A and B are shown apart, each in its own frame.
Chain A
């Protein structure tokens, strides 16, 4: 008999930490020890989280791949399923399938400068990359973290950005469109931050996450600054129901975002990227 990739495993809630009123980080572990021991993922991959009677949603994994038994998901409560996930308490059980999809090219980027450029609330898919690099700092070149938010109040993980900014050979640049007086970072879009940051464009890799309009503008800036398309990686979002390339919803041109992505090298998706209707 074939294994059944549609069948969720049981996950137990170890922690449900509120980040903002509508963003929370859900820490799960697989209930079945044998499954927990076999579980491993790469930064950039995602799980399907399931609430009984409600449904399933794809959520990227933010924890470190070396922490075998904890799986963290930072989630914004925007839909039917995520609103119920937000209410989970320690010890509650939920369904989990995964990990699925492609991952950031961690092995290929050793010794290179890494630019992490994110927009909106969702830098969750790259947090695992930042933590991964921070933990293995000597393996990588300069780390540049650029994040843009609509309103300065939207920024989550403020302390963490401060901590990252204090690290050696690391630069953090944040921008908000609308700001409060307490905001001591830049104002404007994430693309306005390029004048503030330094990196060796010939020896860099950029990793992008955010709305496609923001990624598209960022790609233009990167190319103007001498980076090649092949140095650019990004993560995409589409409707995903099966996560295994069967249900068809996530198709983007010839790619199935769930299994060929969500992390893509830009040239692979360039032709259809940010085109209306794709």
Chain B
């Protein structure tokens, strides 16, 4: 869509190179992308970070950083800071843009006893999402696996996902709840992006990772000066990545999947259940959770009904309900289902754990339950009670 003879020539010369651009050049990048894409990026909203439609650099959270602890999320503003991407994560990453919290699937209408189904699939302007971090890039891959790479493909997810342009951003700091190093998903982003930014104090290092990325970079090169990365900038990039890799939280260095699956009666499940409110926040903020329920919204004349899906949680009692019976009835079972699915069964389903270390379930848990701490206890070498 953006290809011209000139960009084709430039694309060749830009392949696999790193360049530096100034912070203001990001506005030009946004302008270029907004011609062909709906641009989405991090903004400050409702005292957290939220991915919203953006067209101006000024919408990005300049000078903001996040402070996260178990059960705690706070944004701080430093007017001296020139960093746009210091906030690590908000309550949500990219998930709500692709697997929507609520989405109409189809509409059914009834006329003279005859019924007709109409799919609500629509063609949309492709999305360009700026600001994705390593944890959310890994989670995106997990959602792709679930919705697109199984026996059935989800056409709604695919509709939002197709032609998605990703401008990923390397983290230059971690917050207290981050543990992506321990899951092997970060902090450095190594694949699956179209463009990758590393924010330095005064510049960005930009690199492309796909033909679409090359193309956009080539157009950018016509409008701003792409400079070679200096030794000093390369060093600063490394220092910033090193800083992001400083994380205090880790997953236990034990065979978590095997241990969890065989410790279903561990007394720690009861201990957790005493604190857990089964509010489902952890599943709502988790970037890999995929559960959703379907429901109808009939119009008042009862001739038309709209069929929706919306995010659901394994912490809801209806989640396991079939006529007259709940397979899971209590908090201990809800939490155990969530944790064993995420850290044990996910391996069999998708070849790895379902956790990418974003830490959201820790920060957004109103009871400050820390998944890394619980796993450490559940996977301890000398367990109190093992079945």
Asked if A238 meets B155 with Cβ closer than 8 Å, knowing A55-B296, A245-B150, A248-B312, the reply is no
Closest to A11 in B: B115
Report the interface size class on chain A. 35 or more
Bound CA–CA A10/B155 (angstroms): 20
Asked if A239 meets B320 with Cβ closer than 8 Å, knowing A52-B305, A53-B302, the reply is yes
Q: Per-residue 0/1 for B307-325: is the Cβ within 8 Å of any A Cβ (1 yes, 0 no)?
A: 0010010100011111110
For residue A276, CB closer than 8 A to chain B, the reply is yes
- B289-336 residues with Cβ-Cβ distance < 8 A to A are 290-296, 298, 302, 305, 309, 312, 314, 318-324, 327-328, 332-333, 336
Besides the contacts A1-B121, A94-B115, A248-B290, what 16 more A-B pairs have beta carbons closer than 8 Å?
A5-B152, A5-B155, A6-B154, A50-B108, A53-B108, A238-B320, A239-B318, A239-B320, A239-B321, A241-B292, A246-B146, A246-B152, A254-B345, A254-B346, A277-B333, A277-B336
Judging by beta carbons under 8 Å apart, are A78 and B328 in contact? Answer: no
Residues of A within 8 A of B37 (CB): none
Judging by beta carbons under 8 Å apart, are B292 and A248 in contact? Answer: yes
Measuring CB to CB, which residues of chain B are less than 8 angstroms from any residue of chain A? 105-106, 108, 110, 113-117, 119, 121, 146-147, 150-156, 158, 261, 264, 290-296, 298, 302, 305, 309, 312, 314, 318-324, 327-328, 332-333, 336-337, 341, 344-349
Judging by beta carbons under 8 Å apart, are A259 and B116 in contact? Answer: no
Q: Which 5 A-B pairs have the closest CB atoms?
A: A248-B291, A254-B348, A53-B298, A277-B333, A244-B152
Judging by beta carbons under 8 Å apart, are A53 and B305 in contact? Answer: yes
Judging by beta carbons under 8 Å apart, are B312 and A55 in contact? Answer: no
Bound CA–CA A96/B374 (angstroms): 44
Bound CA–CA A54/B115 (angstroms): 14
- The 22 sampled A-B contact pairs (Cβ below 8 Å) are A2-B153, A4-B155, A5-B153, A5-B155, A6-B156, A7-B105, A10-B115, A10-B116, A55-B294, A55-B295, A55-B296, A56-B294, A79-B323, A238-B320, A241-B292, A244-B151, A245-B151, A248-B314, A249-B312, A251-B341, A259-B152, A278-B327
Residues of B within 8 A of A244 (CB): 151-152
Q: Which of A93, A237, A249, A251 has the most CB of B within 10 A?
A: A249
Bound CA–CA A256/B346 (angstroms): 11
CB proximity of B269 to chain A, nearest CB, Å: 9
CB proximity of A141 to chain B, nearest CB, Å: 33
- A233-262 residues with Cβ-Cβ distance < 8 A to B are 237-239, 241-242, 244-249, 251, 253-254, 256, 259
Q: Per-residue 0/1 for A21-65: is the Cβ within 8 Å of any B Cβ (1 yes, 0 no)?
A: 000000000000000000000000000001011111000000000
Residues of B within 8 A of A3 (CB): 155
CB proximity of A254 to chain B, nearest CB, Å: 4
Residues of B within 8 A of A92 (CB): 113
Residues of B within 8 A of A7 (CB): 105-106, 117, 119
Bound CA–CA A248/B349 (angstroms): 12
CB proximity of A238 to chain B, nearest CB, Å: 7
For residue A158, CB closer than 8 A to chain B, the reply is no
Residue in contact with A241 in the complex, picked from B294, B336, B344, CB distance below 8 Å: B294
Q: Per-residue 0/1 for A77-117: is the Cβ within 8 Å of any B Cβ (1 yes, 0 no)?
A: 01100100000000111110000000000000000000000
Asked if A277 meets B327 with Cβ closer than 8 Å, knowing A2-B155, A95-B108, the reply is yes
Residues of B within 8 A of A4 (CB): 106, 119, 121, 155
Judging by beta carbons under 8 Å apart, are B105 and A254 in contact? Answer: no
Residues of A within 8 A of B298 (CB): 52-53
For residue A188, CB closer than 8 A to chain B, the reply is no
Bound CA–CA A247/B313 (angstroms): 10
For residue A135, CB closer than 8 A to chain B, the reply is no
Judging by beta carbons under 8 Å apart, are B333 and A6 in contact? Answer: no
CB proximity of A88 to chain B, nearest CB, Å: 11
For residue A275, CB closer than 8 A to chain B, the reply is yes
Judging by beta carbons under 8 Å apart, are A1 and B152 in contact? Answer: no
CB proximity of B265 to chain A, nearest CB, Å: 10
CB proximity of A192 to chain B, nearest CB, Å: 25
Asked if A277 meets B319 with Cβ closer than 8 Å, knowing A6-B105, A52-B110, A245-B152, the reply is no
Residues of A within 8 A of B153 (CB): 2, 5
Closest to A57 in B: B323
Residues of A within 8 A of B323 (CB): 76, 78-79, 82
Residues of A within 8 A of B312 (CB): 247-249
Residues of B within 8 A of A10 (CB): 114-117
Closest to B152 in A: A244
Bound CA–CA A8/B237 (angstroms): 52
Asked if A8 meets B117 with Cβ closer than 8 Å, knowing A52-B305, A259-B152, A277-B328, the reply is yes
CB proximity of A244 to chain B, nearest CB, Å: 4
Judging by beta carbons under 8 Å apart, are B105 and A249 in contact? Answer: no
Judging by beta carbons under 8 Å apart, are A246 and B147 in contact? Answer: yes
Judging by beta carbons under 8 Å apart, are B320 and A249 in contact? Answer: yes
CB proximity of A214 to chain B, nearest CB, Å: 14
CB proximity of A80 to chain B, nearest CB, Å: 9
